[in-house]
Amino acid sequence: MKAAIYSRLMDEQQKESVQVFFDELSKQNITPLIYQAFLDQIRDTIHLPPDTLTFSSSEDLIEDVEFIISLGGDGTLLDTVALVRNKNISIMGINFGRLGFLAGIGKEEIKAAVKALVKRSYIVDTRTLIHLDADLPLFGNVPYGLNEFAIHKQDVAAMIKIEAYLNGEFLNTYWADGLIVATPTGSTGYSLSCGGPIVFPDSGSFVITPVAPHNLNARPIVVPDDNVISFEVESRSESIICALDSRREIVGKHVALAVRKERFKINLLRLTENSFLQTLHDKLTWGLDKRN
């Protein structure tokens, strides 16, 4: 069995856990394929076989790679989504970050997580993605995201005007700092911090959430994900910011933009049968008020 390993960086305090992880891979006869930049960081501090395999891009993830394991927080896991693309490689996130809403496996569960891959005793969560179409090339070969697409004003520019359409029919005009279109997975991220609702992963929907809207009757709205959502932007600045998850590009304000559901999905792996509600309880501390 072969598994790709991706991480952005390793803190000194994580050294012991990372070593435990690679030792368990060896014990379970899982061949690691390590992201080259990560290997360059750890080769002098982590004991690895001298013939360790590496990869540097999505093109290096060939057919015999069944899994990719993300070591880090949710941002690191979002990077792995961009690497996997439509290759049907399942993603397991081991949390070395803070909240770990997507990378939900704790460092104390490393051995159990590796054993679950061998025994195939994991739970598979299939998640939809959001795809961006534009009249100029944006985000290279990865014009999709797991969490959200967002339009922002640039730096200290005045608020922007965004007209949104559903399948060509006018929806609303937003005078705001920006606008977010989140997937169900992304509804617990940036959209939530801007007042958007949480929706269940299998709800088949998008959440449209304005960022600091000036018109007070502009509220988040949930729409079916079979809609194509398009935008027209007006700004005093010549440029705006487009973001897909943690990736950003600065584009001219006259760019034509539209988002839709991506044609393929990705699989996230977890260890337990915990429901989405249980995840909300654990990560957002629902029900832990002293008055309960």
Active site positions, annotated: 74
Q: Give the span between the Cα atoms of 161 and 145, in whole angstroms.
A: 24
Identify any residues that bridge with 270 across adjacent strands, giving them in sequence order: 123
Residue with tokens 């809609």: 227
Q: How many other C-beta atoms can be found within 10 angstroms of the C-beta atom of residue 112?
A: 14
Single-letter amino acid, residue 240: I
Residue 192 contacts residue 212 (beta carbons within 8 Å): no
Coil, strand or helix at 119 = helix
Residue 4 contacts residue 69 (beta carbons within 8 Å): yes
Burial call 83-105: b when 16+ CB within 10 Å, e when fewer? bbbeeebbbbbbbbbeebbbbbb
Q: Give the span between the Cα atoms of 201 and 219, in whole angstroms.
A: 21
Which pair of tokens denotes residue 183? Answer: 């997937």
Angle between helices 15-27 and 110-119 (to 10 degrees): 20
Residue 61 C-alpha from the chain's centroid = 19
Q: Give the span between the Cα atoms of 292 and 290, in whole angstroms.
A: 5
Q: Give the span between the Cα atoms of 124 and 90, in whole angstroms.
A: 8
Q: Give the span between the Cα atoms of 182 and 189, in whole angstroms.
A: 9
